[in-house]
Amino acid sequence: MKYNPVELILKKRDGYALAETEISFFIREYLAGKIPEYQVSALLMCFFFQGAMPVEISALTRSYIESGKTLSFPDDLPVADKHSTGGVGDKLSLMLAPIAAALGLYVPMISGRGLGHTGGTLDKLEAIPGFNTQYSMEDFKDLVLKHGYALVGQSPQMVPADKMIYALRDVTATVESPALITASIMSKKIAEGAKYLVIDLKIGSGAFMPTLSRAKELAEHLIATGESFGQKVKVLFSNMNSPLGSAVGNALETIEAIEYLKGNYLPDTYEITTALVADMLLMAGFAADFAAAEKLIQGAVESGKALSKFAEIIEAQGGNPRVIEDYSLFDTAKYEVPIIAEKNGFIQAIDSRAIGYALVRIKAGRMKTSDILDYSAGAKLPFKIGDKIMAGEELGRVYCNKESEGKEVARLIQSAYAIAELPPKKEPLLY
Amino acid sequence: MKYNPVELILKKRDGYALAETEISFFIREYLAGKIPEYQVSALLMCFFFQGAMPVEISALTRSYIESGKTLSFPDDLPVADKHSTGGVGDKLSLMLAPIAAALGLYVPMISGRGLGHTGGTLDKLEAIPGFNTQYSMEDFKDLVLKHGYALVGQSPQMVPADKMIYALRDVTATVESPALITASIMSKKIAEGAKYLVIDLKIGSGAFMPTLSRAKELAEHLIATGESFGQKVKVLFSNMNSPLGSAVGNALETIEAIEYLKGNYLPDTYEITTALVADMLLMAGFAADFAAAEKLIQGAVESGKALSKFAEIIEAQGGNPRVIEDYSLFDTAKYEVPIIAEKNGFIQAIDSRAIGYALVRIKAGRMKTSDILDYSAGAKLPFKIGDKIMAGEELGRVYCNKESEGKEVARLIQSAYAIAELPPKKEPLLY
């Protein structure tokens, strides 16, 4: 071997930066089965403790990318994408992608599945009967070129190193490293060929990042890494203390997204979706300022073009586009269990993470990747932090197929809301 | 499983102390093959970065001990031992153990083999034709009870967890953790039944610990851990900037030790051996002060009792005790290559580590545990830091069986000596 893996671990452990050739050696030999997992996990833990220089993160990102195939689009095509760090009730991709495509951007959107308290775009899409998210990279590219976007899962041919290393991080407590998170996110977004990337970095009780300062460190890494590959990156910091929108749960969220494309906005999803699409349009030079971008976005929705784009991709990806008009084509829960507020007051805080985990019990989410979902399960939770509520009033509603489980989940969700007499300090939705 | 291993890694990673039950769970399940090595190496790296509380180190030590069998001796038996952190030319065990046994202490000495630049007591003993170092724990105990001491290798029945974890640390850059070093040393010394333990903690160019401050942290852990098991521990900090004594190499060192027991002391080996045995005698209540202890030690050597004890154990362990009178019974090197000083001056510094590694080339030491030694190979290096030398004078001599290799080693050793005009600052042998 060109290097001694122990010496590379030692170097990183003692705070020295690894060279690009050293990082690519380590990843390549690991994939080739020549470096054992126990050395990889030791190195990952050193990255957790020592952080990494921008050049190291770029090298790691490059080694992930080079482990698989990449997509490339013609130079003059405005290829843009969004990444979200994950939250509760985050169905923004389902609105954002058709709007952006309706406005002439090309969006090669590769999404993931839900795990733990957070949902995943693929699961929400698969709540649409027949919708297929598994495509070869070639077919995915064809879909994007033909329809302006596509909504698929990650191909095993793309960044396989990230997949292997993510699985190892997950079982070795090395997930929460800004350097490793950056390489994981950026390798996929660069390999898919996006030239403009907007990142929805969520902060708060329902997000992986608890504080703004941690999020800022991550944002700097994301932007620097994108730049080192010639990709423009914009990071938005959004508040994930209240679940996003009203619905949480796969079919319920997809329906909420369709309603949005019909012009039935909710204030929080409107603000964040518009901000994200506006940044994509601004980076691609489609609008001169936010006001112009917002006008374009409103036009795409209000003209019905974005909804048509959604119908178009549903049909192209094997789904039944009639769901747009007939929500009964979605799986529907047998029971609706109300969640009742126990006292008068203002909502001070919402434990969105606890809500996400509670909903796993009725299979609206999963704990293990092998868990099977119930698309119909979920909740509608229209109240936000700062809202006033009266004892006995309905805080929300749980949708389930086993009433006893639904009642338990309603109880858990109810206790995720902290209610007190005085209104809390107002928090912004975007920082 | 009682605990989730990932959560335990996370807890340690984030700086919280693990509970005794959590540590014993982790070690036990690893030994049972239920926790994979990649999780163990991640946890070990967290110990490296976060350190450990005394209770955690005790728990780790206990879990190592409980992974195997232990020895115990009658309560009234003064069972004492020495541990050295390893150096170049360190043959002190070969003098210390027979002296201590001659004075009535019981010394269940378990030693290791050389690796890298440092030598190992077992290899030096095996340079004696027929000498056997592999005994069951029962037979080892019988030898100690009958002869007052024995000089053996570690039984696989004893602290197997340490053996497994040490092997993993070695390939994951987690050796240099004071917490992990402490558990590794102390588990063996407690499992062997020693009530009094003196530790020769070596500092300097030929040692694993480069500085006194790092060594002091380790010493505090060693003492606290011993105390938590009811063992008295004394730590001596010794200077390992010059190789110890004159000989480096297995047969050469054993001969030097025999000469010592015949009363032919060298100043540095005399000072450290006497200090170590004196501490054993003081802890066991065999002497009231250092002066009294030194007198006992001198008496043991000058009466010939210590040498008889050495002959006794050589015979008991299957070796040929006639080596004591007839050094030609040892393997003897074909060639002696002089190492010539290139300039006049005082020796400023000696790179003992480089000397150790140079001697590996003629098989006086090994790089891998599977390497085969040449017992006859080595060097005699009588000069110490501060000594005056003239250009053309012999700095020392390499003993080898291939003259060309010997010349190369002589060249390497020669360049390990820094010589300058003015005498260097005098360093103590014991700090």
Q: What is the predicted pLDDT for the residue at B332?
A: 97
For A180-195, write each residue's pLDDT tens digit: 999 999 999 999 999 9
Annotation says A169 is catalytic: yes
B7, B41, B49: residue with CB nearest A41 = B41
Minimal C-alpha gap between B9 and chain A (Å): 6
Considering the segment(s) B333-420 as one domain, its CATH architecture is: Alpha-Beta Complex (3.90)
Which of B45, B47, B115, B169 should one mutate to test binding to chain A, selecting the residue with the greatest count of A CBs within 10 A? B45
Please, which residues have CB within 8 angstroms of residue B187's CB and are 6 or more apart in sequence?
Answer: B61, B64, B65, B159, B161, B162
∠ CA A343-A345-A347, rounded to 5°:
105
Minimal C-alpha gap between B1 and chain A (Å): 15
Question: Residue B115: its chain A contacts at CB < 8 A?
Answer: none
Which of B37, B39, B172 should one mutate to test binding to chain A, selecting the residue with the greatest count of A CBs within 10 A? B172
Minimal C-alpha gap between A56 and chain B (Å): 20
- Give CA–CA dist A53/A221, Å, rounded: 9
Minimal C-alpha gap between A219 and chain B (Å): 22
Interface of A with B in 132-171 (CB under 8 A): 168, 170-171
Q: Which residue has the tokens 């951007």?
A: A105
Neighbours of B267 (CB within 10 A): 10
Please, which residues have CB within 8 angstroms of residue B186's CB and are 6 or more apart in sequence?
Answer: B61, B222, B225, B226, B229, B231
- Give CA–CA dist B328/B312, Å, rounded: 20
- Give CA–CA dist B309/B297, Å, rounded: 13
For A364-379, write each residue's pLDDT tens digit: 999 888 899 999 999 9
- Please indicate whether, in this complex, the C-beta atoms of B42 and A46 are within 8 angstroms of each other: no
- Please indicate whether, in this complex, the C-beta atoms of B9 and A168 are within 8 angstroms of each other: no
- Give CA–CA dist B359/B339, Å, rounded: 13
Question: Residue A175: its chain B contacts at CB < 8 A?
Answer: none
CATH of domain B80-157+164-324: 3.40.1030.10
Please, which residues have CB within 8 angstroms of residue A310's CB and are 6 or more apart in sequence?
Answer: A94, A98, A258, A261, A324
Smallest CA-to-CA distance from A208 within A169, A234, A246 is with A169
Q: Are A183 and A261 in contact (CB under 8 A)?
A: no
∠ CA A204-A367-A418, rounded to 5°:
35
- Please indicate whether, in this complex, the C-beta atoms of A173 and B42 are within 8 angstroms of each other: yes
Token readout for B274 is: 């006497």
Instruction: Report the run of H or E that residue B406 belongs to, with start and end.
Output: helix B403-414
Residue of A nearest to B36 (CA): A38
Token readout for A67 is: 């482990």
Task: Tell me whether A6 touches chain B (CB under 8 Å).
Answer: yes
Q: What is the predicted pLDDT for the residue at A424?
A: 94
Residue of A nearest to B175 (CA): A10
Domains of chain A, residue spans? 5-66, 80-157+164-324, 333-420
- Give CA–CA dist B295/A313, Å, rounded: 95
- Please indicate whether, in this complex, the C-beta atoms of B9 and A38 are within 8 angstroms of each other: no
User: Within its chain, how far is the Cα of A388 from the centroid?
Assistant: 30
Task: Tell me whether A210 touches chain B (CB under 8 Å).
Answer: no
Sign of CA dihedral B400, B405, B406, B412: negative
List the catalytic residue out of A82, A83, A189, A380. A83
- Give CA–CA dist B10/A175, Å, rounded: 10
pLDDT, mean of each 10-residue run, chain B (431 residues): 92 97 97 97 98 97 97 96 92 98 98 88 97 97 98 95 93 93 96 97 80 89 98 95 94 98 97 98 98 98 98 98 98 98 95 93 91 97 96 97 97 96 90 88
Annotation says A184 is catalytic: yes
Q: What is the pLDDT along chain A (431 residues), one digit of tens a residue?
A: 789 999 999 999 999 999 999 999 999 999 999 999 999 999 999 999 999 999 999 999 999 999 999 999 999 999 999 999 888 999 999 999 999 999 999 999 999 988 888 889 999 999 999 999 999 999 999 999 999 999 999 999 999 999 999 999 999 999 989 999 999 999 999 999 999 999 999 998 777 777 888 899 999 999 999 999 999 999 999 998 889 999 999 999 999 999 999 999 999 999 999 999 999 999 999 999 999 999 999 999 999 999 999 999 999 999 999 999 999 999 999 999 999 999 999 999 999 989 999 999 999 999 888 899 999 999 999 999 999 999 999 999 999 999 999 999 999 999 999 999 999 998 889 98
DSSP-derived letter for residue A379 is E
Task: Tell me whether A38 touches chain B (CB under 8 Å).
Answer: yes
Catalytic amino acids of B? 83, 162, 169, 184, 188
Task: Tell me whether B180 touches chain A (CB under 8 Å).
Answer: no
Annotation says A117 is catalytic: no
Q: Are B72 and B193 in contact (CB under 8 A)?
A: yes
Q: What is the predicted pLDDT for the residue at B209?
A: 74
CATH of domain B5-66: 1.20.970.10
What does pTM read for this prediction? Answer: 0.88
Q: Are A352 and A206 in contact (CB under 8 A)?
A: yes
Please, which residues have CB within 8 angstroms of residue B64's CB and are 6 or more apart in sequence?
Answer: B27, B159, B161, B162, B165, B183, B184, B187, B191
CA-to-CA dists, residue B341 to A103, A193, B418, B421, angstroms: 82, 65, 10, 13
User: Within its chain, how far is the Cα of B6 from the centroid?
Assistant: 36
Residue of B nearest to A15 (CA): B49
- Please indicate whether, in this complex, the C-beta atoms of B41 and A44 are within 8 angstroms of each other: no
Q: Provide ipTM, 2 decimals.
A: 0.87
Minimal C-alpha gap between A41 and chain B (Å): 6
- Give CA–CA dist B233/B199, Å, rounded: 7
Which of A16, A29, A49, A172 should one mutate to test binding to chain B, selecting the residue with the greatest count of B CBs within 10 A? A172
Question: Residue B5: its chain A contacts at CB < 8 A?
Answer: 171
Backbone angles phi, psi at B384, to 5 degrees: -120, 170
- Give CA–CA dist A124/A252, Å, rounded: 9
Please, which residues have CB within 8 angstroms of residue A381's CB and are 6 or more apart in sequence?
Answer: A89, A243, A246, A247, A248, A339, A355, A395, A396, A413
Question: Residue B41: its chain A contacts at CB < 8 A?
Answer: 38-39, 41-42, 45
Task: Tell me whether B37 touches chain A (CB under 8 Å).
Answer: yes
- Please indicate whether, in this complex, the C-beta atoms of B38 and A171 are within 8 angstroms of each other: yes
